[in-house]
Amino acid sequence: MSEPLFAGVDAGSSATKCVLVDAAGRCLGHGIAPSGFDYAIAADQALNRALDAAGAKRDRIERCVSTGYGRERVEQATRRVTEITCHARGAFEWYPQARTIVDIGGQDTKVIRLNAHGHTADYRMNAKCAAGTGTFLESIAVRLALPLSEIDGLAMRSTGRLVMNSYCTVFTSTEVLERIKEGQPHEEIAMGLFRAIASRVAEMMSARDGAVAATGGVVTHCRAMVKALEEVLGVGVLLPPLPQHAGAFGAALLAMKPDDAEPAPRSLSLEVIRPC
């Protein structure tokens, strides 16, 4: 009988990722598919790709944890866990020294504080506006008619200190036009956008001690994002082997454990202020 596998599926706003681990928590395969209109289909595709990469059959999967925006739609899931817990779990497995996880996704940005056991001590998500997320970059890229990879390439050549406003995506688009009009070099404008996101991250950090690890699609595809984070936060940023799959990896690790037994109930004091 072949060894059981544990799957994690992260149904994110733009991409659905899957990671398969064995009983020792080793990553055996991973896959990705565009989320598109239907998370169920995307999850299936990502899972098949991960299975292909692992050279395994679906019936080896013992448990599956889904996470991400579309976690409720992942039919294979035996349990659903938020992306906050999953990213924390995945990143901590790679970097037990990390105390802050910065996840910059398509739709939201999260900053998660971990304690020494890897448990979430505190977390924050960006406010409602897309500013500070992958969507922010994508919308500006469309505005500039440049692929994101080119914006990243430009930004990596920057030597200046320009920072763009990050309060609102629309305001930033206007600011980009103003900077173009002023004749600012394109590489400075491009880097300014990454710095804008990094400043939003800095605002969300409740503490600055301990190592910082970055996850999510933006740091996977844009080296300039890591550079901007390092610059604005003033620390080196750890980039895991599969930053975009950190949530799925964490979900797969959580799938290794059977559903949590409930902690022992605490004392049931029927204490009431007033005698009834």
Backbone angles phi, psi at 268, to 5 degrees: -95, 75
DSSP 161-219: ------S-HHHHHHHHHHHHHHT--HHHHHHHHHHHHHHHHHHH-S---SEEEEESHHH
274 binds other proteins (CB under 8 A): yes
Interface with other proteins by CB under 8 A: which range of 50-58, 80-88, 164-172, 228-236? 80-88
DSSP 212-244: EEEESHHHHH-HHHHHHHHHHH-S-EE--SSGG
Question: Rounded distance, CA 239 to CA 119, Å?
Answer: 20
Interface with other proteins by CB under 8 A: which range of 82-90, 187-195, 211-219, 239-247? 82-90
Q: Which is nearer to other proteins, 59 or 260 (CB)?
A: 260
Q: Which is nearer to other proteins, 171 or 221 (CB)?
A: 171
Q: Which is nearer to other proteins, 83 or 152 (CB)?
A: 83
Query: Nearest approach, Cβ of 175 to other proteins (angstroms)?
Result: 21
Q: Which is nearer to other proteins, 100 or 158 (CB)?
A: 100
Sole binder of other proteins in the list 1, 24, 145, 272 (CB under 8 A)? 272
Q: Which two tokens stand for residue 274?
A: 């007033």
Contact letters for other proteins, residues 108-127 (x by CB under 8 A): x----------xxxxxxx-x
Query: Nearest approach, Cβ of 80 to other proteins (angstroms)?
Result: 8
Contact letters for other proteins, residues 240-269 (x by CB under 8 A): --------------------x-xx----xx
Query: Nearest approach, Cβ of 93 to other proteins (angstroms)?
Result: 15
- Residue at 210: amino acid letter: G
CB 211 within 8 A of CB 99: yes
Q: Which is nearer to other proteins, 124 or 186 (CB)?
A: 124
Q: Would strands 5-11 and 61-67 be described as parallel, antiparallel, or unpaired?
A: parallel
Q: Which two tokens stand for residue 265?
A: 């109930």
Q: Which two tokens stand for residue 6?
A: 């544990």
Binding residues for other proteins, total number by CB under 8 A: 28
59 binds other proteins (CB under 8 A): no
List the Cα angle 228/229/233 in 5-degree steps. Answer: 120
Give the interface with other proteins as residue ranges (CB under 8 A).
69, 81-85, 108, 119-125, 127-128, 206, 260, 262-263, 268-274, 276
